[in-house]
Homo-oligomer: A and B are copies of this chain.
Amino acid sequence: MKSKIITGGITAPKGFTANGLYSGIKKSKKKDLALIYSEQACTAAGVFTTNKVQASCVVINKGKMHRGKARAIIANSGNANCMTGKRGFDDSKKIIARVATALKLPESDVLIASTGVIGKPLPIESIADAIPALTQSLSKAGGKNAAQAILTTDHRVKEIAVEISVGGKKVRVGAIAKGAGMIHPQMKSATMLCFVTTDAVIDRGTLQKALNESVDDTFNMITIDGDTSTNDMVLVLANGTAENKKIVAGSKDFRLFRQALQEMFITLAKLMVKDAEGATKFVEVAVDGAKSKEDARTAARSIASSNLLKCAVYGSDPNWGRIAASVGYSGADVNPWKMRIYLGSELVLENGGPVKKDISILNRVFAKKEIKIRVDLGQGKENATAYTCDFSPEYVKINSAYRT
């Protein structure tokens, strides 16, 4: 039994409602405040950025994770509320308090997330004033509003929902995500903004385990610009209303649930890369023949992070020497004489030197909107795949005037 994609996003699982509106943060007056709510108590799990500079929302949520319980996630976009001093923490707590009051929840049940510019205080009164309207109009249909309200430079809403069957009971998992720049999630349980809901019956430890095991080959394998954010997080709420036989670690049901998460995450991760700031092309970098999984990941991420390669992709120039160079400086165990490089299905490097190819064939591969690069390290059996986009003059323009 595999997972099945169903319509909707964060509100597809039973018992979850959501909403999103403009609360006064964004100059564009686009939606900038999102709320996700469960009518029932939830098991909660989360993974967070490994950046040592962390926004107040990251610090606050991490402090709540030991309880493993929550019922609401309040998230704003347009302002990261990071490097905003003690005031930043006070503002986050004020928002949590207002949401808790409006929803009649203890403050400990409310998680918080922020994304946007760093170092600028939030317009706290304006946000606080918007909370009653936000909570009063929570609905199933409001999932779309929430998906819009967490976006920054993203062009497209990123949401997905799947259904799996656990012991004959239908279990739904829904998710929304955002991210188009400052994207280079660091290994070990760190990633971008993504909120997941599920009606599965699952305990906290098992939920956290499934989450941990789902980010390494998905969100942690994408890069847009090599900059790791201060605010990255994935939060999962599971309210148990599907009434399935409890999912326990190591079981077939657990693997099915984890696989559903992985499939959702890889879909959302690819959506992020495709929606990346200024991106005109999507690049899949597959590394195999590595001595270790870590080597495969390191090499794939290094290639995907090469500014020079990303410029060549933008210009449709099949300059594979830059792939070889970025594997060489990755730190992975590399023997240039054993390495093979493929552009699409075309072998271009073997025995330490170029394979004769009509350049027009390679030009055609690099002219595509979706480009596949494969590097066989010839050293072992491990593999990993990274995802990235090209580097365009438009990326520079977007990020040269982000605050204005």
A325 touching B399 in the complex, CB below 8 Å, given contacts A307-B226, A353-B83, A354-B121: no
Which of B182, B308, B392, B403 has a CB less than 8 Å from the CB of A181? Answer: B308
Q: Which residues of B lie under 8 Å from residue A314 when comparing CB positions?
A: 396, 400
Cα–Cα, bound, A274→B312 (Å): 23
A141-149, A208-216, A316-324 - interface stretch: A316-324
Q: Name the B residues within 8 Å of A84 (CB-CB).
A: 352-354
Residue A45 lies at the interface, judged by CB distance under 8 Å to chain B: no
Q: Which residues of B contact A120 (CB under 8 A)?
A: 321, 354
Using an 8 Å CB-CB cutoff, how does the interface string of A226-261 with B read, 1 for contact, 0 for none?
111110000000000000000000000000000000
Residue A53 at the B interface, CB < 8 A?
Answer: yes
A114 on interface, CB distance cutoff 8 Å: no
**Size of interface on A: residues with Cβ below 8 Å to B:** 72
Chain B residues near A227: list those with CB within 8 A. 306-308, 322, 325-326, 329
Q: Which residues from B are CB-within-8-Å of A167?
A: none
With both beta carbons as reference points, the residue of chain B lying nearest to A56 in the complex is identified as B352
Q: Is the CB of B317 within 8 A of A351?
A: no
Task: For residue A51, give the distance in angstroms from its CB to the closest CB of chain B.
Answer: 4
A391 to B306, CA, bound (A): 14
What distance in Å separates the Cβ of A182 from its nearest Cβ neighbour in chain B?
Answer: 6
User: C-beta contact mask, A81-109 vs B, less than 8 Å → 1, else 0?
Assistant: 01111111000000000000000000000
CB pair A399 B312 closer than 8 Å: yes
Q: Are A396 and B392 in contact (CB under 8 A)?
A: yes
Contact B401–A324 (Cβ < 8 Å): no
Identify A53's interface contact among B317, B336, B395, CB under 8 A: B336
Task: State the Cβ distance, A226 to closest chain B Cβ, in Å.
Answer: 6
Q: Which of B51, B316, B396 contacts A329 (CB 8 A)?
A: B51
A325 touches B402 (CB 8 A): no
Q: Counting CB contacts under 8 A, is A117 at the interface?
A: yes
Chain B min CB distance to A64 (Å):
20
B residues in contact with A119, CB < 8 Å = 320-321, 324, 348-349, 353-354
A321–B51 contact, CB under 8 A? no
Task: Indicate if A54 sits at the interface (CB-CB under 8 A).
Answer: yes
Question: CB-CB < 8 A to A354: which residues of B?
Answer: 83-85, 119-121
CB A291 to nearest CB in B, in angstroms, measures: 13
Taking CB atoms, residues of chain B closer than 8 Å to A63 are none
Contacts of A398 in B (CB 8 A): 311
- For A55-73 the 0/1 string (1 means CB < 8 A from B) is 0000000000000000000
- Per a CB cutoff under 8 Å, which of B118, B321, B334 touches A82? B321
Q: A27 contacts the other chain (Cβ, under 8 Å)? A: no
Tell me whether A199 is interfacial, beta carbon within 8 Å. no
A76 within 8 A of B: no
The answer, among B117, B121, B311, B321, for a CB contact under 8 Å with A400, is B311
19 further A-B contacts with Cβ under 8 Å, apart from A117-B319, A118-B322, A119-B320, are A52-B334, A53-B324, A83-B354, A85-B351, A118-B319, A119-B321, A119-B324, A119-B348, A120-B354, A227-B322, A227-B329, A228-B325, A228-B328, A230-B328, A311-B396, A311-B400, A314-B396, A317-B401, A395-B396
Q: Which 9 A-B pairs have the closest CB atoms?
A: A85-B353, A118-B321, A315-B400, A53-B328, A393-B393, A311-B399, A228-B329, A51-B328, A119-B321
26 A-B pairs in the complex with CB atoms less than 8 angstroms apart: A53-B328, A54-B328, A80-B321, A82-B321, A83-B353, A84-B353, A87-B353, A119-B354, A120-B321, A182-B308, A182-B322, A226-B305, A227-B308, A227-B325, A228-B329, A230-B321, A307-B307, A311-B396, A311-B399, A311-B402, A314-B400, A316-B400, A392-B396, A393-B393, A393-B396, A395-B396
